[in-house]
Amino acid sequence: MNETTFNRIKERLESLKKLPGIADKSISEVMEEKGFSRRDFLKWAGAMTAMLSLPASFTPLVAEAAEVSDRLPVIWLHMAECTGCSESLIRTDTPTIDDLIFNYINLEYHETIMAAAGWQAEENLKEARKSFAGRYILCVEGGIPTKMDGSFLTLGPHAETGRKVLEETAKDAAAIISVGTCSSFGGIQAAAPNPTGAVGVDKIIDKPVINVPGCPPSAKNIVGTILNVILFGELPAVDNFNRPKFAYGLRIHDLCERRGHFDAGEFVENFGDNAAENGFCLYKVGCKGPYTFNNCSRERFNQHTSWPVQAGHGCIGCSEPDFWDTMAPYEEPLADRKFASIDADATADSVGVKILAVAGAAIAAHAAISAIKNPKE
């Protein structure tokens, strides 16, 4: 990340600043009203900069991106889902800075929180697509049913299929973000036998789509991805499943606060036993942290107070494709990937330990054979 990148972002933010914003107050004024000081805001910007894997010197740019976030129109579509992804951001009694920024974003269309309904809502969507063509960020929540011509999901007074609404809205989007496991990979609707033929957005839309999975994803991962698009005007570096590396680059198991207990072989055997009381590792009661890529232990949920493993239940792998089918049963270890085989998909250092152990055994065997050959020694 060098000076050229810094200047490129700076220029982009300057040009965004010139666009008309929808907010009648600056983000600093909004923060102040909610009891956050400028210092809190800069502290947040520093943490977000680190999360986006940018150098600390980019902190003022991240703060500026939040300040101009009301310039970039966002259209948010709901497909087949539970709305937990939106709730992850908006259902809060004490808003965090992430929530405030989400409220500040120029949300042109979002069915859960807008006042319009029926004909009016449909008009609003058409209007937003037309006025902001080529400029809006499209966020999609929910899987897209494809069987029977998509008729398992119809929207609005003309009963258009979700698939058609998505295709029409994706056409003129500047960037597309799949928010949640459903829009990323189909989600619970796609669980076997997937009666509606639900799929993720990228199976239908022939444009780059960034996946922010999790059922639901954390507010930090959603807002971080949107800010990344504001900063760079493009999608961030992604893994094989199109998940931003800054959020999904490591496994739950790599960042888990119970990892010391895993390494020491200290496991909860039953929910409610003494080991559970002592906060031991949840692997034997089904934790799928070793197979799941996400940053939940770092970013947490509910105003960053907790996350599944902290609350006492193992990770169920909710940010992985097809987790409803591949990670079940949720409270037992996976039969085909037992404790001893975890190393198969572990990091290089634990594989290193395994090789050393094998070498150790070979040395011992060699010594024993030598002793037989040279009994005098």
User: Smaller CB distance to ligand SF4: residue 142 or 314?
Assistant: 314
Q: Answer with the entry of ligand SF4, ligand FSX, ligand F3S, none that 287 interacts with (C-beta below 5 to 8 A by kind).
A: ligand SF4
Q: How far is CA 370 from CA 49, 253, 361, 374, 377, in A?
A: 59, 42, 14, 6, 9
Residue 259 and residue 199 in contact, taking contact as beta carbons nearer than 8 Å:
no
Omega before residue 193 within 30° of 0, cis: yes
* Pairwise CA distance, residues 91 & 83, whole Å: 11
Q: Is residue 138 at the binding interface for ligand FSX, with CB under 6 A as the rule?
A: no
Minimum distance between the CB of residue 221 and ligand FSX, rounded to whole angstroms? 12
Residues within window 267-296 making contact with ligand F3S, judged by CB under 6 A: 292, 294, 296
User: Smaller CB distance to ligand F3S: residue 150 or 286?
Assistant: 286
As a whole number of Å, the CA-based R_g of the chain is 24
Stretch in the footprint of ligand FSX (CB under 6 A) among 15-23, 76-84, 232-240, 274-282: 76-84
Nearest to 79 by CA among 173, 160, 174, 172: 160
Q: Which residue's Cβ has the minimum distance to ligand F3S?
A: 315
Stretch in the footprint of ligand FSX (CB under 6 A) among 83-91, 201-209, 225-233, 327-335: 83-91
Q: Is residue 214 at the binding interface for ligand F3S, with CB under 6 A as the rule?
A: yes
Q: How many residues bind ligand FSX (CB under 6 A)?
A: 14
User: Smaller CB distance to ligand FSX: residue 73 or 186?
Assistant: 186
Minimum distance between the CB of residue 245 and ligand SF4, rounded to whole angstroms? 19
Stretch in the footprint of ligand F3S (CB under 6 A) among 32-40, 182-190, 240-248, 304-312: 304-312
Q: Are strands 106-110 and 73-78 parallel, antiparallel or unpaired?
A: parallel
DSSP run (H or E) holding 108: strand 106-110
Q: Token digits for 216?
A: 């639901």
> Exactly one of 190, 219, 227, 316 binds ligand F3S (CB under 6 A); which one?
316
Q: Answer with the entry of ligand FSX, ligand F3S, ligand SF4, none that 253 interacts with (C-beta below 5 to 8 A by kind).
A: ligand SF4
* Pairwise CA distance, residues 193 & 299, whole Å: 33
Q: Token digits for 92?
A: 């809060």
Q: Is residue 318 at the binding interface for ligand F3S, with CB under 6 A as the rule?
A: yes
Q: Is residue 215 at the binding interface for ligand FSX, with CB under 6 A as the rule?
A: yes
Q: Token digits for 207?
A: 């444009």
Residue 136 and residue 108 in contact, taking contact as beta carbons nearer than 8 Å:
yes
Residue 80 falls in which region: left (phi positive, over 0), alpha (psi -120 to 50) or beta: beta
Stretch in the footprint of ligand F3S (CB under 6 A) among 20-28, 226-234, 301-309, 338-346: 301-309
Amino acid identity, residue 128?
A: A
Q: Answer with the entry of ligand FSX, ligand SF4, ligand F3S, none that 50 interacts with (C-beta below 5 to 8 A by kind).
A: none
Nearest to 125 by CA among 254, 114, 247: 114
Residues that bind ligand FSX (CB under 6 A): 81-85, 141-142, 180-182, 187-188, 215-216
Residues that bind ligand F3S (CB under 6 A): 214, 252, 292, 294, 296, 307-309, 315-319
